[in-house]
Amino acid sequence: MKLIIINGPNLNLLGKREPEIYGAASFEDYLAGLRAKYKKLTLDYFQSNIEGELIGKIQEVGFSHDGIILNAAAYTHTSVGIGDAIKAISTPVVEVHISNTMQREAYRHVSHVSPVAKGVILGFGLQSYDLAIESFLLS
Ligand code: DQA
């Protein structure tokens, strides 16, 4: 099975960024652990701070991979373009968030990804990504 994790803006700063919300681990370290745990999977990874690059990657992998695990970060709440890109592809997308966005500011309660995602996982810290992988293994 071929999955890809796509992370949006500021997630390159995990470990340094607001650790009380997002934790102390860098994504690179966490990803190494994930790849060791799920050795049988192909687990690709892409991060960008640029909306158009995220849309380009969704289009690029959206007809070939078995699943996309997407944390669009702040663009979740603003990007009609990312929502449209998900609608345009055939690969299912699971939306993940590290924090429970529903417990945070009202503007984080809006998602352009949720209505077009296969499912949504939020609030389990970095383990939200483990759970998203598990969801693809169930299906
Ligand atoms: C986030 C939640 C978003 O509201 C925020 O803009 C992020 C990270 C999360 O994983 O909890 O950058 O997507």
Mean pLDDT by 10 residues, the chain (139 residues): 98 93 92 97 98 98 98 98 98 98 98 98 98 94
Report the atom number in ligand 1 closest to the C-alpha of 108.
4
Rounded to an integer, what distance in angstroms lies between the CA atom of residue 127 and that of residue 34? 10
The active-site residue out of 30, 65, 75, 97 is: 97
Residue 64 neighbours by CB under 8 Å, 6+ apart: 2, 91
Please give the number of the atom of ligand 1 that sits closest to the Cα of 71: 13
111 CB near ligand 1 (under 6 Å): no
What does DSSP assign to residue 138?
A: H
**pTM over cut 0.75:** yes
Could you give the CA distance from residue 87 to residue 81 in angstroms, rounded to a whole number? 10
In the CATH hierarchy, which fold is given to the domain comprising 2-138? Rossmann fold (3.40.50)
| Both structure tokens of 138 | 């169930």
State residue 75's pLDDT score: 98
First to last CA, the chain: 11
